[in-house]
Amino acid sequence: MAEVNEQQSQPLGEDNGNEIVTENAAFVHEEPPQDAIGPPRVDSEVEILHEKVTKQIIKEGHGQNPSKYSTCFLHYRAWTESTQHKFEDTWEEQRPLELVLGKEKKEMTGLAIGLSSMKSGERARLHVGWELGYGKEGSFSFPNVPPMADIIYEVELIGFDETKEGKARADMTVEERIGSADRRKMDGNALFKEDKLEEAMQQYEMAIAYMGDDFMFQLFGKYRDMALAVKNPCHLNMAACLIKLKRYDEAIMQCSIVLAENENNVKALFRRGKARAELGQTDAAREDFLKARKFAPEDKAIARELRLLAEHDKALYQKQKEIYKGLFGPRPEPKPKRSNWLVLFWHWLLSLFYRLFKRGGHKAD
């Protein structure tokens, strides 16, 4: 689907500092995270971090490494090396993990060693020996890890907070936690304007991590409204970045999170509609655009997308019509059969004898 070029009307074109405006932006393309079917295959050099921990970089990061007691925000997938069984995936759950270096759980010691060597935005494959993982006994609850299992991680360090920058989330007041998330969101917006989409998404994900489900569940009244005023724009801004990166399924998921909280959110409906249209889900996209138009009837971007869908349907109908026309063309005219002159002559001869015989009969009378 083509991007919208017209000047946007409210609400899609407004820029109130919370939500980025993307309806006039051009698409760019970046590689999505690796497939989750099995551990990633990496050709980069193996770096030995510890006797039991090695690292291979999948994607370079930027900035400094986190120091001890930094609060790291990360996504990761984990497999047992022997069985290739994936036992954890935070990308699939859409829930980043928070880990304080030096205060991690015993089974995450190897993962923490890997994180301490990484930069913000870096994605890497880690190999961790069982001694720095789930140990000799393994884990028979959740996650289910067999005894003495070496672990392969695909991990991405979204970002981190140094100890000097503030308290750990658990020690923050509600206002401090929302304020920290809001600062991350604003940093993300600034990065988006510089077209640094991956870095922008890292900031949005860290802001969303501050507004985790456990935290939101405890809020009500004005505090819940304050938190949603930060959290929902981060999901919508994530969706905008993902659409530009052509990662449409992930964009749909981000919009759906907002719509679960507010089913009439126009920007969430619009951006989910765009992502669905790009995936060829035209009926679902039309449904989103029509619902969005109900709450923003004058919006030119919505009208344009509906017009593009109508043109797409018309072109598809014409194409199908041509195909079927070729399959079921007009019935061919029957060819005239050639006359058998011998048969015709024989009939004429019989007729002649009959007339002569009849005439001779009249004379006899």
- Res 352 pLDDT > 70: yes
Domains of the chain, each with CATH number or no CATH: 47-165 (3.10.50.40), 169-315 (1.25.40.10)
pTM value is 0.64
Q: Do 230 and 16 form a contact (C-beta atoms < 8 A)? A: no
291 closest CA partner among 259, 252, 327, 243: 259
DSSP single-letter state for residue 230: H
Task: Decide if pLDDT at 28 tops 70.
Answer: no
pLDDT, mean of residues 221-227: 89
Identify the pLDDT of residue 299.
92
Q: pLDDT (tens digit, 9 = 90+) per residue, 99-116?
A: 889 888 899 999 999 999
pLDDT at residue 96 greater than cutoff 60: yes
Residue 10: what pLDDT?
47
Looking at residue 86, what is its pLDDT? 92
CB contact set of 89 (below 8 Å; sequence gap of 6+): 36, 76, 77, 78
What tens digit of pLDDT does each residue of 306-324 get? Answer: 999 988 888 777 777 777 6
CB atoms within 10 A of CB 159: 25
Residue with tokens 């819940």: 224
pLDDT tops 50 at residue 357: yes
The residue-averaged pLDDT of 55-80 equals 91
What per-residue confidence (pLDDT) applies to 157? 93
For the ranges 23-27, 37-41, 200-204, 290-294, the lowest mean pLDDT is seen at 23-27
Closest by Cα among 268, 276, 261 to 238: 268
Sign of the alpha-carbon torsion through 84, 85, 91, 95: negative
The share of the chain scoring above pLDDT 70, in percent, equals 80
Please give the pLDDT value at position 364. Answer: 52
